[in-house]
Amino acid sequence: MVARDLILKNEKVLLRPLTRQDFSMLQELTTDPKLWIYFTQDLSKPEEFEEWAAGHFLGERLQFVVIDQSSGKVAGSTAFGSFSARDRRLEIGWTWIGKEFQGSGINGQMKKVMLDYCFETLKLKRVEIKTDVLNLPARKALLKIGAVEEGILRSHTQMTHGRRRDTIYYSFLEGEWPKPFK
């Protein structure tokens, strides 16, 4: 099991568990509805932000606040979820980055510290990541860090604005990490 007080960091990013005190800083990054096209909830709406955060506080996942080490600013959020101790597997997801930090390398760095922890500390056999098949920037970023594309689940997830998403899965297996970033 992943400790609820886990802090992960490197020289670029710091990931720490979400607290209610983080809501105002995070909500400042969520105001643009266009950010949520590929997300299952529109976090620009306060009620959907609360519903998204509830998954962390109910223990469904460990949601992190992502902090850019160079500026000290909150950059977004990511999580560990769908943990299966028996299968030695978990999912990295529920990830979003504020516009100011998109394209800055923050996403790759947070995935790096998370994957390092998964394989070096937890000794997992598999880490999976899924995204919207239409989310080409996320798909390219996953391939850039060495994720293996596995397949598409059709009409898999309900999205904002009533759209049904085809979900594409990526993974890393034990022994495949670390991979050099392209």
Give residue limits of the domains in the chain.
8-173
Q: What is the pLDDT along the chain (182 residues), one digit of tens a residue?
A: 688 899 999 999 999 999 999 999 999 999 998 889 999 999 999 999 999 999 999 999 999 999 999 999 999 999 999 999 999 999 999 999 999 999 899 999 999 999 999 999 999 999 999 999 999 999 999 999 999 999 999 999 998 888 999 999 999 999 998 866 65
CATH class for the domain made up of 8-173? alpha beta
Q: Tokens 């959907």 correspond to what residue?
A: 48
C-beta pairs of 136-139 under 8 Å, 24+ apart in sequence? 138/38, 139/168
Query: What tokens does 178 get?
Result: 């670390």
Closest CA to 69 of 39, 95, 104, 38: 104
How far is 163 from 20, CA to CA, in rounded Å? 30
Q: Tokens 């997801």 correspond to what residue?
A: 93
